[in-house]
């Protein structure tokens, strides 16, 4: 797993799910497959339950106060995962598995995300879980840049903010 200290697949999956509009069973099957999640077949009710749970994940991204961010992650962990194992199945590097004691896909996905966020906050720093700085842009991301100073979801958003700032400066007399 390439980005282990960013929380493995859990944080990237969380960001992708949060950045996707409506989470239908078909959308989830595609996204969960892309993130190599074993549980990817959710029915309508399970998709809705996962979307509801993800509402509690969104504020973790871009939370500037680390104490508050940790409290949010601990809250997610508390409800999501029963215990943790280290695994290196299928020739993978050692990584954490979050045990739920149930086959319910919502529980398993929630546990993987909550665990991933916890690892990212401890290993990479909570500021790596970012939210686009352009006002009104809801996109969240895992900041894997070398200096960890990513501020926007895309160059499109960065350009819009920079152009606006430039215009504001030009309007200022003197
Ligand atoms: Zn695994
Ligand atoms: Zn943006």
Tell me, in angstroms, the distance from the centre of ligand 1 to residue 95's CA.
6
Distance between the two ends of the chain, CA-based, in angstroms?
54
Tell me, in angstroms, the distance from the centre of ligand 2 to residue 162's CA.
12
Tell me, in angstroms, the distance from the centre of ligand 2 to residue 165's CA.
16
Q: Are 81 and 98 in contact (CB under 8 A)?
A: yes
Give CA–CA dist 107/80, Å, rounded. 6
CATH of 4-130, one of 1.10.3300.10, 1.10.10.10, 3.40.50.720, 3.90.1150.10: 1.10.3300.10
Give CA–CA dist 12/26, Å, rounded. 19
pLDDT tens for each residue of the chain, 174 residues long: 344 666 678 999 999 999 999 999 999 999 999 998 888 999 999 999 999 999 999 999 999 999 999 999 999 999 887 788 898 888 888 888 888 888 899 999 999 999 999 999 998 899 999 999 999 999 999 999 999 999 999 999 999 999 999 999 888 776
Backbone angles phi, psi at 163, to 5 degrees: -65, -45
Tell me, in angstroms, the distance from the centre of ligand 2 to residue 18's CA.
13
Ligand with smallest separation from the Cα of 8: 1
Tell me, in angstroms, the distance from the centre of ligand 2 to residue 140's CA.
8
Residues 6+ apart with CB under 8 A from 169: none
Domain coordinates in residue numbering, the chain: 4-130
Q: pTM here?
A: 0.89
């Amino acid at each position: 797993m390439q980005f282990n200290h960013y929380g493995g697949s859990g944080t990237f999956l969380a960001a992708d799910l949060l950045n996707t509009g409506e989470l239908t069973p078909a959308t989830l099957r595609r996204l969960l497959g892309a993130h190599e999640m074993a549980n990817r077949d959710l029915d309508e009710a399970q998709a809705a339950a996962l979307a509801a749970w993800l509402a509690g994940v969104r504020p973790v991204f871009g939370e500037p106060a680390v104490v508050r961010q940790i409290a949010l992650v601990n809250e997610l962990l508390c409800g999501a995962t029963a215990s943790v194992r280290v695994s290196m199945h299928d020739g993978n590097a050692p990584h954490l598995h979050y045990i739920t004691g149930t086959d319910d896909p919502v529980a398993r996905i929630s546990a993987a995300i909550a665990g991933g966020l916890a690892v990212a906050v401890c290993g990479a720093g909570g500021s790596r879980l970012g939210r686009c700085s352009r006002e009104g842009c809801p996109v969240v991301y895992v900041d894997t840049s070398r200096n960890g100073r990513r501020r926007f979801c895309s160059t499109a958003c960065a350009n819009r903010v920079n152009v606006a700032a430039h215009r504001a400066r030009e309007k200022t007399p003197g």
